[in-house]
Amino acid sequence: MRKNLRYLILLLILLFVAVNEALNKTRSTSWENPLWVRIYAVNGDGREASDKYIDSLTTDSFEAVEKFVNREARRYGIKIDAIDVEYNGRLQSAPPMPPSTQSRLGNIWWSLKFRAWATYRAWNSDRDAGDIELFVSYYDIATTQSLRHSVGLQGGLIGIINAFADQSYQGSNQVVIAHEFMHTVGATDKYAPNNQPILPQGYAEPSRDPLFPQHKAEIMGGRIPLSMRDSQMPESLKQVVVGIQTAAEINWLAD
């Protein structure tokens, strides 16, 4: 009896989340008003170098994300600024990290914990909550050579971004932040398990002749294709565009 009750409670929670995400999807992609995107920094490894880098951050550090999204939105006919980005400073507590192993049940449980953590944090904060909140966890490049996968919850309007705490990585960090933002409003990944962008939807110029090398990345493809087997990470959002399928997913195409 108790086991069945637990299942019922879990199903009711999942139903609530699904309905809430559907409502969020509709509201966040109407593009009638700019979305307030609020970014928070977290020291991911507790190191002094990460602290110093976070101390240097301002709203200007994330201006490229705002400019990129608004530039691309206007290219698809959105007549207002799509987003307004503001840096809301450092958090002392870190969000729960996604599970390191791929498990559907584990991912569901983590997403529920992340939503609960974000809601509780917003309730206890004296700062204005954003329509979308992104938590950027920074790591010292002296001890971290590769980062765990970043996650933006589609319909959840929250995301965790893992980034390098070094000025030389600011451009690539901004690409990852923009990518996860696009996830929160419904865009899907357009790269294969080997991280190669998928043709045509993951290419910035799928009709280019010759096809290679591409000169820009599609934001959800993530990388600039140099051949069918090789690609490179864009150095900044100046090398990135929003492709037509991604634009359709986030309601940027006119009916």
The pLDDT value given to residue 17? 52
Amino acid of residue 224: I
pLDDT at 51 over 70: yes
Question: Confidence band (pLDDT; 50, 70, 90) for 27?
Answer: low
Alpha carbon 221 to chain centroid, angstroms: 13
Question: Confidence band (pLDDT; 50, 70, 90) for 7?
Answer: very low
Cα–Cα dist 120/54, whole Å: 23
Alpha carbon 246 to chain centroid, angstroms: 14
Alpha carbon 249 to chain centroid, angstroms: 15
The pLDDT value given to residue 23? 47
pLDDT digits (tens, 9 = 90+) for 244-255: 999 999 999 965
Given the candidates 1.10.10, 1.10.1760, 3.40.390, 2.60.40, the CATH classification of the domain at 34-186 is 3.40.390
Cα–Cα dist 35/50, whole Å: 29
Query: Using alpha carbons only, what angle is made at residue 235 by residues 232 and 237, rounded to the nearest 5 degrees?
Result: 115
pLDDT digits (tens, 9 = 90+) for 90-149: 999 899 988 877 778 788 888 889 998 998 888 877 777 789 999 999 999 999 999 999
CA atoms within 13 A on the CB side of 96: 17
Q: What is the mean pLDDT of residues 168-181?
A: 98
pLDDT digits (tens, 9 = 90+) for 78-105: 999 999 999 999 999 899 988 877 778 7
- Calculate what percentage of the chain has a pLDDT beyond 90: 72
Q: 35-63 b/e with 16+ CB inside 10 Å = b?
A: bebbbbbbbbbebebbbebbeebeeebbe
Cα–Cα dist 3/212, whole Å: 57
Residues of the chain with CATH 3.40.390: 34-186
